[in-house]
């Protein structure tokens, strides 16, 4: 791909290159057509793992469908995938609302994760079948569905997750209309036909642009609200309410915040590989990594704050509920997972991301992001596996009197976890073949709104902030 | 929205130093009236310390009442300074500039006021020393240093020290300016306080770096202060309604809601009283209102979670408490007022740009928020203690006494009095920030549209 722009990868606040709009369109649309051998090999590998994971999920349901204590790892996986695939698209809207210019070129990568929500839905289906109803043997368990019908968690969680995926896709599609038009105008074959069909007659009139911005704002706001709601349901109905006596008001927020943290980490990883292997250095500036690094750092601190706020109340509270909850989730069978999660989700990323020099680079940022995702997976296992390991006949107790034995993952669980993660990566990679990985119109808007200027004896950037 | 105005430095100096170089006509009568109220408050406090806490409405089982509620309220207001100054500085929000000084000042004075309440609440304030020193050396009775009741004064005094330093560092360039425009004892005072400020590049660099470092250092303290205040309640598992894991972030976000609203109130007053229409503009209120919508909605989500998980346990005493809080007189009336003033009235109004840029409406809605936020603290603290529980053999219904109400009113007069006194000697809008914003903002033509723009650093 012949580049007509100048790369500025060595500078932090690099002034945007003066790239002709037509060149931007052609270069970015061309990224959908060229795939290296390595890319194809990865796609095949991930695809095979995804299929293996789905098959393992079906086999597990047939084999262990009547024993809820064996489904903790799948519950942890649902929570993990929701965090990654649900949290990432937030990067496409939260900084945009705050009028941050750096985020414009990378909103597409973030919103591609909306499609990966399908992986969460696949994992949720057997779990919904296994989740006990609210009333068993005449007794109603503790729940946020106080007087609601017995299968409320099952119905509303599924519906809200479907709604979340739908809204995420609509958010993606609303922002992608001009790019489909670019594909229509700059592509050939099936991509051109697809672009023509999905662009819905986009020619860029004032009315179309106004409608586009309104839709992004509307779907973005809905997406955020639904995401918080889904996190609330999954963390409560599929976690907290499975354990007698576990009453933790901050847990849904903790779950949501760690989801945002994972989402940003996933975007950093996707950004890194796109930049490196699709040769997009001149469009993905280091400024984006720097800003994402600050966001990730803030979320890492927020994670430990939420964790500690909960922990100290249990620790000092010393009621039977508090002691049992601590024994189950922290001091008991999950103590090593607790320390590993603490180190990987907070201490190591905090120590990596605190350095400005690190945030100005890409390599350490991507390492930090991988560490966060590993830490999150362990943390989800720490919370959901013990919660599901509580036998069904104890669910109505006042508090947990006997801490269950550690449940180790079996071959199904390992395949399901590998398959679930692979499916997310597979979907995102496949989507880069359908639409440019960077939003063409937002790259152009970024270039239009940021202008390098001389400031006294130095350099600065003049960033326009339209209403 | 940016309503940028070209203002030269002479005009900026003249207008923003009008409180120090001239005395507005309203200043002396206002300060005198406030001084009288403050004096009455001090006399009442002294009387209460002399006669004992029997003068208050506090009685078994409600031992924490108006004083502790007001303490939490003022600690909450103090969150304005760091929210506005530190967080907005770190995120390079350009609109923060005229607001920073007032917010930092509010932090310092509200913390000073907050500290008074636990002291007088102790009945015999000198016995506060037992919190830190061994109660009885011979028998080895030591204070529990792990208790939030010990962590609390430590956090608040650290916050007060840091905030004062923060305020002072940002004040230095303006002190240099005042030094050069005054004579006599005032000149001597400003000379000492300006620390030899000349405005050379090195001093500017140090001042900027100092501000950024302090911002970063103050943030954890900012969060810890109200978290620790919340743990005073949350770790007490015996009191229904208090033992909740969400209290720390719930208190912090509530504090930010309350503190930023107080800044809005103060900005409106500053604009009206000192006629700073060129500096405190509708765009600043607009930005603050947008911030408040986000903060208030976050706070509402935490309120929802707090209530939801209170009922989640399905424990009879907890349910009884919530029923009392929401459905029994007079708590139900307070609850309705709290909800209406804390969220339901102001936030929907702020969704309209016309309201956000209307200074009078912003002033009144920001006051409403603080009425609601005070009631929120009252509803958290008092009903949990007031609910009749088994094995308590005496009950007194808690009604705050006139002494408590007088001290409550005193606290508002005291903060306003300190503010006005400060305004006589130091500018309430930072001059250098104002001048810097003139340089760092511009308009650019994009196509046919004139778009406001800001200058960002480049390496």
Cβ separation B458–A463 shorter than 8 A: no
Distance in Å, alpha carbon of B47 to nearest chain A alpha carbon: 37
Q: Tell whether A414 is within 8 A of chain B (Cβ).
A: no
Calpha distance A239→A72 (Å, rounded):
9
B205 Cβ neighbours under 8 A, 6+ residues apart = none
- Write the CA distances from B164 to A248, B17, B109, B447, integer angstroms: 37, 21, 10, 47
Give pLDDT tens digits for B207-217.
889 888 888 88
Question: pLDDT at residue B91 above 80?
Answer: no
Q: Quote the pLDDT of residue A11.
A: 47
Q: Quote the pLDDT of residue A4.
A: 38
Q: How confident is the model at residue B2 (pLDDT cuts 50, 70, 90)?
A: low
Q: Quote the pLDDT of residue B341.
A: 95
Calpha distance B311→B355 (Å, rounded):
37
Q: Tell whether A251 is within 8 A of chain B (Cβ).
A: yes
Cβ separation A462–B454 shorter than 8 A: yes
Burial A286-307 (b: 16+ CB within 10 A, else e): bbbbbbbbebbbbbbbbbebbb
Calpha distance A463→B432 (Å, rounded):
22
Q: Quote the pLDDT of residue A384.
A: 94
CB-count burial class (<10 Å; 0-12, 13-18, 19+) for A322: buried
Give pLDDT tens digits for B164-198.
998 999 899 999 989 998 899 999 999 999 999 99
**What phi and psi values does residue B5 have, to the nearest 5 degrees?**
-130, 140
Calpha distance B199→B189 (Å, rounded):
18
Three-state SS at A205? coil
CB-count burial class (<10 Å; 0-12, 13-18, 19+) for A367: middle
Average pLDDT over residues B375-394: 85
Measured between CB atoms, which of B235, B248, B454 is closest to A316? B235
Give pLDDT tens digits for B338-350.
999 999 999 999 9
Distance in Å, alpha carbon of B63 to nearest chain A alpha carbon: 21
User: Taking CB atoms and an 8 Å cutoff, what residues of chain A touch B446?
Assistant: 448-449, 464, 466
- What rounded mean pLDDT belongs to chain A? 88
Distance in Å, alpha carbon of A266 to nearest chain B alpha carbon: 23
Measured between CB atoms, which of A310, A458, A464 is closest to B245? A310
Average pLDDT over residues B9-19: 83
Q: Tell whether A307 is within 8 A of chain B (Cβ).
A: no
Domain ranges of chain B: 9-454
State what percent of residues in chain B have pLDDT above 90: 49
Cα–chain center distance at A386: 24
Structure token digits, residue A116: 């990966």
Cβ separation B248–A448 shorter than 8 A: no
Quickly list H helices, A318-397: 320-326, 335-342, 348-353, 356-359, 363-389
Q: Quote the pLDDT of residue B343.
A: 94
Q: Quote the pLDDT of residue A391.
A: 87
Three-state SS at B200? coil
User: Taking CB atoms and an 8 Å cutoff, what residues of chain A touch B459?
Assistant: 11-13, 459
Bridge partners, A164 (sequence order): none
CA dihedral in degrees (B326, B329, B335, B338; nearest 10)?
Answer: 180
Cβ separation A13–B458 shorter than 8 A: yes
Measured between CB atoms, which of B2, B247, B456 is closest to A463? B456
Low-confidence residues of chain A: pLDDT under 70? 1-19, 467
User: Rounded to the nearest 5 degrees, what angle is found at the Cα of B22, between the Cα atoms of B20 and B25?
Assistant: 115
User: Taking CB atoms and an 8 Å cutoff, what residues of chain A touch B243?
Assistant: 313, 317, 319
Q: Quote the pLDDT of residue B137.
A: 66
Q: Quote the pLDDT of residue B241.
A: 86
Kindly state which CATH superfamily the domain B9-454 is placed in. Formate dehydrogenase/DMSO reductase domain (1.20.1630.10)
Three-state SS at B442? strand
Cβ separation B446–A466 shorter than 8 A: yes
Measured between CB atoms, which of A144, A313, A451 is closest to B308? A144
Q: Quote the pLDDT of residue B313.
A: 80
Question: pLDDT at residue B41 above 90?
Answer: yes
Q: Quote the pLDDT of residue A105.
A: 82
Q: How far apart are the first and last CA of chain A?
A: 36
A247 Cβ neighbours under 8 A, 6+ residues apart = A142, A240, A321, B309, B312, B313
Structure token digits, residue B255: 């504090």
A46 Cβ neighbours under 8 A, 6+ residues apart = A422, A423, A425, A426, A429
Q: Quote the pLDDT of residue B46.
A: 96
- What's the farthest any 2 CA atoms get from each other in chain A? 78
Domain ranges of chain A: 33-450
Check residues A138 and B48 and name the one with the higher pLDDT. B48
Four-residue CA torsion sign, A26, A31, A34, A36: positive
Average pLDDT over residues B364-383: 94
Cβ separation A146–B311 shorter than 8 A: yes
Q: How confident is the model at residue B386 (pLDDT cuts 50, 70, 90)?
A: confident
Three-state SS at B315? coil
- Write the CA distances from A400 to A138, A236, A325, A387, B131, integer angstroms: 20, 17, 8, 11, 37
Cβ separation B452–A465 shorter than 8 A: yes
Cβ separation A463–B308 shorter than 8 A: no
Check residues A76 and B450 and name the one with the higher pLDDT. A76
- CB neighbours (10 Å) of residue A6? 11
Calpha distance A83→A77 (Å, rounded):
10
Distance in Å, alpha carbon of B49 to nearest chain A alpha carbon: 33
Nearest CA in chain B to A447: B446
Distance in Å, alpha carbon of B90 to nearest chain A alpha carbon: 10
Q: Which value does ipTM take for this structure?
A: 0.88
Quickly list H helices, B235-281: 247-274
Measured between CB atoms, which of B249, B442, B454 is closest to A309? B249
Cβ separation B451–A464 shorter than 8 A: yes
Calpha distance B303→B257 (Å, rounded):
13
- What rounded mean pLDDT belongs to chain B? 88
Rg, Å, chain B Cα set: 24
Strand A458-464 relative to strand B449-457, pairing: antiparallel
User: Taking CB atoms and an 8 Å cutoff, what residues of chain A touch B444?
Assistant: 451, 462, 464
Check residues B88 and B209 and name the one with the higher pLDDT. B209
Structure token digits, residue B95: 């609109």
Calpha distance A257→A151 (Å, rounded):
27
CB-count burial class (<10 Å; 0-12, 13-18, 19+) for B168: middle
Query: Contact at 8 Å (CB) between B240 and A309?
Result: no
Three-state SS at B452? strand
Q: Quote the pLDDT of residue A260.
A: 94
**What phi and psi values does residue A440 have, to the nearest 5 degrees?**
-60, -50
Q: How far apart are the first and last CA of chain B?
A: 28
């Amino acid at each position: 791909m012949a580049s007509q722009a100048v790369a500025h990868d060595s500078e932090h606040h690099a002034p945007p290159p003066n790239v002709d709009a037509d060149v931007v369109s052609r270069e970015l649309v061309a990224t959908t057509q060229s795939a290296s051998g390595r890319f194809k090999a990865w796609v095949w590998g991930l695809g095979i793992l995804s299929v293996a994971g789905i098959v393992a999920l079906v086999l597990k349901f047939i084999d262990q469908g009547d024993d809820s204590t064996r489904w903790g790892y799948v519950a942890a996986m649902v929570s993990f995938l929701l965090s990654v695939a649900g949290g990432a698209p937030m990067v496409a809207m939260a900084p945009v609302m705050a009028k941050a210019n750096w985020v414009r070129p990378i909103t597409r990568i973030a919103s591609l994760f909306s499609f990966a929500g399908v992986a969460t839905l696949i994992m949720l289906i057997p779990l919904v079948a296994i989740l006990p109803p609210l009333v068993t043997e005449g007794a109603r368990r503790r729940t946020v569905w106080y007087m609601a019908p017995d299968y409320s968690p099952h119905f509303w969680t599924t519906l809200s997750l479907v709604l979340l995926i739908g809204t995420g896709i609509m958010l993606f599609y609303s922002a992608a209309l001009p790019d489909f038009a670019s594909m229509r105008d700059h592509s050939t074959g099936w991509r051109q036909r697809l672009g023509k069909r999905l662009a819905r007659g986009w020619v860029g009139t004032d009315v179309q642009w106004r409608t586009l911005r309104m839709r992004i704002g509307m779907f973005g706001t809905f997406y955020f609200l639904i995401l918080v709601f889904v996190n609330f349901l999954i963390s409560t109905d599929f976690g907290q309410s499975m354990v007698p006596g576990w009453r933790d008001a901050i847990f849904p927020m903790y779950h949501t915040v760690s989801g945002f943290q994972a989402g940003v980490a996933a975007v950093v990883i996707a950004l890194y590989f796109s930049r490196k292997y699709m040769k997009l250095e001149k469009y993905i500036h280091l400024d984006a990594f720097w800003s994402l690094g600050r966001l990730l750092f803030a979320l890492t601190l927020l994670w430990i704050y939420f964790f500690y706020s909960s922990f100290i109340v249990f620790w000092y509270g010393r009621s039977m509920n508090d002691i049992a909850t601590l024994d189950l989730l922290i001091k008991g069978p999950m103590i090593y997972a607790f320390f590993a999660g603490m180190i990987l989700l907070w201490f190591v990323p905090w120590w990596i991301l605190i350095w400005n020099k690190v945030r100005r680079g890409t390599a350490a940022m991507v390492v930090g992001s991988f560490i966060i995702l590993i830490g999150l997976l362990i943390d989800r296992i720490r919370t959901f596996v013990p919660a599901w390991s509580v036998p069904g006949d104890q669910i109505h107790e006042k508090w947990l009197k006997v801490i269950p034995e550690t449940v180790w993952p079996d071959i199904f669980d390992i395949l399901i976890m590998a398959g679930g993660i692979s499916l997310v990566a597979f979907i995102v990679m496949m989507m880069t073949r359908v639409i440019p990985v960077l939003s063409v119109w937002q790259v152009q808007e970024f270039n239009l709104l940021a202008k390098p200027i001389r400031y006294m004896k130095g350099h600065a950037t003049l960033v326009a902030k339209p209403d | 929205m940016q309503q940028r105005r070209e203002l030269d430095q002479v005009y900026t100096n003249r207008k923003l130093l009008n409180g120090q170089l001239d005395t507005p006509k309203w200043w002396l009568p206002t300060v005198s009236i406030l001084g009288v109220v403050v004096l009455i408050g001090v006399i009442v406090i002294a009387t209460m310390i002399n006669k004992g806490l029997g003068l208050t409405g506090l009685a078994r089982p409600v031992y924490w009442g108006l004083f502790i509620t007001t303490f939490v309220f003022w600690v909450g207001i103090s969150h304005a300074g760091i929210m506005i100054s530190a967080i907005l500085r770190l995120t390079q929000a350009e609109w923060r500039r005229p607001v920073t000084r007032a917010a930092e000042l509010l932090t310092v004075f509200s913390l000073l006021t907050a500290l008074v309440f636990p002291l007088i609440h102790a009945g015999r304030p000198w016995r506060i020393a037992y919190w830190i020193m061994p109660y009885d050396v011979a028998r080895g009775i030591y204070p529990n240093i792990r208790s939030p009741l010990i962590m609390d004064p430590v956090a608040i005094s650290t916050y007060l020290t840091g905030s004062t330093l923060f305020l002072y560092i940002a004040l230095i360039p303006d002190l240099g300016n005042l030094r050069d425009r005054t004579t006599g004892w005032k000149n001597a005072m400003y000379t000492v306080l300006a620390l030899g400020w000349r405005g050379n590049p090195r001093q500017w660099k140090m001042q900027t770096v100092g501000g950024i470092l302090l911002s970063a250092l103050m943030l954890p303290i900012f969060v810890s202060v109200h978290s620790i205040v919340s743990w005073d309640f949350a770790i007490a598992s015996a009191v229904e309604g208090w033992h909740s894991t969400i209290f720390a972030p719930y208190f912090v976000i509530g504090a930010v809601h309350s503190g930023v609203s107080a800044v809005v109130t103060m900005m409106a007053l500053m604009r009206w009283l000192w006629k700073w229409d060129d500096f405190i503009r509708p765009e600043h209120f607009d930005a603050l209102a947008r911030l408040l919508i986000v903060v208030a909605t976050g706070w509402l989500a935490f309120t929802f979670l707090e209530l939801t998980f209170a009922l989640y346990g399905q424990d009879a005493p907890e349910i009884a408490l919530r029923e009392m809080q929401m459905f029994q007189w007079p708590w139900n009336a307070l609850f309705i007022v709290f909800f209406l003033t804390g969220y339901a009235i102001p936030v929907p109004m702020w969704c309209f740009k016309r309201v956000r840029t209307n200074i009078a409406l912003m002033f009144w809605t920001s006051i409403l928020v603080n009425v609601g936020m005070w009631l929120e603290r009252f509803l958290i603290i008092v009903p949990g203690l007031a609910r009749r529980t088994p094995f308590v053999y005496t009950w007194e219904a808690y009604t705050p006494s006139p002494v408590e109400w007088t001290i409550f009113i005193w606290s508002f007069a005291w903060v306003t009095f300190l503010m006005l006194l400060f305004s006589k000697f130091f500018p309430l809008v930072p001059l250098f920030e104002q001048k810097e914003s003139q340089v760092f903002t511009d308009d650019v033509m994009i196509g046919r549209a004139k778009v406001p723009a800001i200058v960002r650093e480049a390496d």
